[in-house]
C-alpha cells in the first residue's frame, strides 16, 4: 500500500502524518478519513481551490491534471508547478509527500 506523508501544517496536522492509502483513492479522501480536515468547499466537484495541495515528492507519478483542474488551480493561493487539487489527484502505487498550503481561497466564506 502506498503511503501519503503529510508535512506538518500548523492547524490541520501540526505533527505531520504518515497515512496508508489505496491506489485510486483521492488524496483528499485519505486525509479526511484520517482526521486531516482539508477544506473542500465545493464538496469535491472541482469547482473551487480550497483543497489545493502541493505534491513535494511523487508528483510525476500522478496522472496528469485535466483542463478543468488546471483552470481551477490558476486561482489557487500559492500555486506551484507541483500543485494539485486533492479532490482530483488519485493515489498511485508509489508514496507521496504532500504539503497543505498555509492559506486557501474560499470565495464562499470570503465573499
Domain chopping of the chain, boundaries: 3-110
Q: Residue 94: CA atoms inside 13 Å, Cβ hemisphere, count?
A: 10
Tens of pLDDT, residue by residue, the chain (111 residues) = 999 999 999 999 999 999 999 999 999 999 999 999 999 999 999 999 999 999 999 999 999 999 999 999 999 999 999 999 999 999 999 999 999 999 876 654 444
Pick the CATH number of 3-110 from 1.10.3720.10, 3.20.20.100, 3.30.310.50, 3.10.20.30: 3.10.20.30
Beta bridge partners of 98: 6, 55
Give residue 110's pLDDT: 44
The answer to whether the Cα torsion of 102, 72, 26, 65 is positive or negative is negative
Global pTM value = 0.92
Amino acid at each position: 500500500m502506498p503511503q501519503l506523508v503529510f508535512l506538518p501544517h500548523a492547524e490541520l496536522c501540526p505533527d505531520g502524518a504518515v497515512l496508508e492509502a489505496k491506489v485510486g483513492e483521492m488524496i483528499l479522501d485519505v486525509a479526511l478519513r484520517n482526521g486531516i480536515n482539508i477544506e473542500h468547499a465545493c464538496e469535491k466537484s472541482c469547482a473551487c481551490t480550497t483543497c489545493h495541495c502541493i505534491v513535494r515528492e511523487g508528483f510525476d507519478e500522478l496522472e496528469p491534471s485535466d483542463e478543468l483542474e488546471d483552470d481551477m488551480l490558476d486561482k489557487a493561493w500559492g500555486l506551484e508547478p507541483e500543485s494539485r487539487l486533492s479532490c482530483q489527484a488519485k493515489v498511485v502505487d508509489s508514496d507521496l509527500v504532500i504539503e497543505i498550503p498555509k492559506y486557501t481561497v474560499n470565495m464562499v466564506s470570503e465573499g
